């Protein structure tokens, strides 16, 4: 039976990408060696790395002001690397607290400078994206989490600021066009929308670097990876290869405009069912902030005992990964780029059948 993978991350990848990746694991481009066993300095891998960078530049419409880095350590390492590289001890950075990942970024940044939380939805369990706040002009940057994977909220526009944005885009990178000029730095763990875990994509304005006074360990200094083109040490070769294949797939599929259209259609389909179905309730209080990547919902009040039954029905229909994050409960349908609308329709049909049987 076909599986419909609604996992939040590691998550669904395009089938064609996984097919090519498995072939390359046995014999890469007919060279008689696996992609897993060739040098990261071989001409074959250099070509992969070059193409990956060119594709990112093309997809995100990057100028030469920006560097594209393929790093390790996950988005979680970026929580401290961003502040370590961009914020001096006596400077202040503004942060929005819109979920667990934002909170972790704030905690790490405090080790390197002053942090002002200028917007937060924490008191309401992160059920909306805060609006109507000022980002102080003396902030070094404004950090936000563009999509809150756990709580199912997403910025559909970014606040006007006088300072550059720094964004954790782990769970919605390349799901829609990016107004890149507004960003000083963007980071994303690969395992939600790009490729396998073990790779972290960073896009950084080169002129933002080299402005802090502290000593930065070589591996944690973005300038190392800019000057060595992500091969100061051994990069995650296979993960970069798979990401490159995904970038090709995004480009061939019409780029970010096309991804955005497809993602909007999927989101509309599931949220309509969440709103119409009497057995379910969405967890995001302001509908305009609902995530197009992760739809979070719970059983309607009084129906909580049916939760396990619904998950069983999902499983029977091949829908996996629908259980919500432990801090929110209920359900979460993650619908990253690689998910087709047909899979969302399967889940919606399960929701309909469930309410016919138990409503």
Ligand X SMILES: *Cc1c(COP(=O)(O)O)cnc(C)c1O
User: Which positions touch ligand X (CB under 6 A)?
Assistant: 9, 74-76, 101, 145, 149, 168, 170-171, 189, 192
- Lookup: tokens for 316: 């029977």
CB of 171 to ligand X, least distance (A): 4
Q: Which helix (H) or strand (E) holds 183?
A: strand 183-189
Q: How many CA atoms lie within 13 A of 235 on its CB side?
A: 28
Active-site residue 249, yes or no?
no
- Here the tokens at position 178 are 């990016």
From 168, 172, 221, 289, the catalytic residue:
168
Is 114 among the catalytic positions? no
What is the chain's alpha carbon radius of gyration, rounded to the nearest angstrom? 21
Using the minimum distance from each CB to ligand X, give the nearer residue, 146 or 343: 146
For tokens 């899979």, name the residue: 343
Only one residue has tokens 């008191």, namely 123
Helix (H) or strand (E) holding 260: helix 255-276
Q: In the complex, what is the shortest distance from the CB of residue 303 to ligand X, in angstroms, rounded to a whole number?
A: 29
Among residues 113, 86, 106, 88, which one has the least CA distance to residue 222?
86
Structure tokens at 58: 């093309």
Q: CB nearer to ligand X: give 164 or 198.
A: 198
Cis check: omega of the bond before 10, within 30 degrees of 0: yes
CB of 39 to ligand X, least distance (A): 26
Task: Give the residue with the Cβ less far from ligand X, 74 or 321.
Answer: 74
Beta strands in 53-162 (DSSP E): 66-71, 92-97, 114-120, 142-145, 147-148, 153-154
**Shortest Cβ distance from residue 138 to ligand X (Å)?**
27
Q: Output 145 or 161, the one with its CB closest to ligand X.
A: 145
Q: How far is the CB of 105 from ligand X (least distance, A)?
A: 8
Judge whether 174 and 194 are in contact, CB under 8 Å.
yes
Nearer to ligand X, 59 or 201 (CB): 201
* Rounded Cα–Cα distance for residues 106 and 275 (Å): 34
- Any idea which residues carry the catalytic annotation? 101, 168, 192
């Amino acid at each position: 039976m076909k599986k419909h993978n609604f996992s939040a991350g590691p998550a669904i990848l395009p089938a064609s990408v996984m097919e090519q990746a498995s072939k390359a694991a046995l014999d890469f481009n007919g060279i008689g060696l696996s992609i897993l066993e060739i040098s990261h300095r071989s001409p074959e891998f250099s070509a992969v790395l070059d193409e990956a960078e060119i594709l990112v530049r093309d997809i995100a419409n990057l100028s030469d002001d920006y560097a594209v880095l393929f790093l390790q350590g996950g988005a979680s390492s970026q929580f401290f690397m961003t502040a370590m590289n961009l914020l001096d001890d006596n400077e202040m950075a503004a942060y929005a607290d819109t979920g667990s990942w934002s909170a972790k970024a704030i905690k790490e940044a405090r080790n390197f400078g002053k942090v002002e939380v200028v917007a937060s939805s924490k008191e309401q369990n992160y059920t909306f994206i805060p609006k109507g706040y000022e980002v102080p002009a003396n902030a070094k940057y404004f950090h936000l989490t563009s999509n809150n994977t756990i709580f199912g909220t997403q910025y559909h526009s970014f606040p006007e600021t006088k300072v550059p944005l720094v964004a954790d885009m782990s769970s919605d990178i390349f799901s829609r066009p990016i107004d890149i000029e507004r960003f000083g730095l963007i980071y994303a763990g690969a395992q939600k929308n790009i490729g396998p875990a073990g790779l972290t994509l960073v896009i950084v304005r080169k002129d933002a670097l080299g402005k802090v006074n502290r000593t930065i360990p070589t591996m944690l200094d973005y300038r190392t990876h800019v000057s060595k083109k992500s091969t100061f040490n051994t990069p995650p070769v296979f993960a970069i290869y798979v990401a490159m294949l995904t970038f090709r797939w995004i480009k061939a599929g019409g780029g970010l405009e096309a991804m955005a259209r497809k993602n909007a259609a999927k989101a509309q389909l599931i949220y309509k069912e969440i709103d119409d179905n009497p057995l379910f309730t969405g967890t995001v209080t302001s509908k305009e902030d609902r995530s197009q990547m992760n739809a979070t919902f719970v059983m309607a009040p009084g129906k909580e005992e049916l939760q396990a039954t619904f998950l069983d029905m999902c499983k029977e229909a091949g829908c996996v990964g629908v259980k919500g994050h432990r801090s929110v409960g209920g359900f979460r349908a993650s619908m990253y780029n690689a998910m087709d609308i047909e899979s969302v329709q399967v889940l919606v049909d399960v929701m309909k059948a469930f309410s016919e049987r138990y409503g």
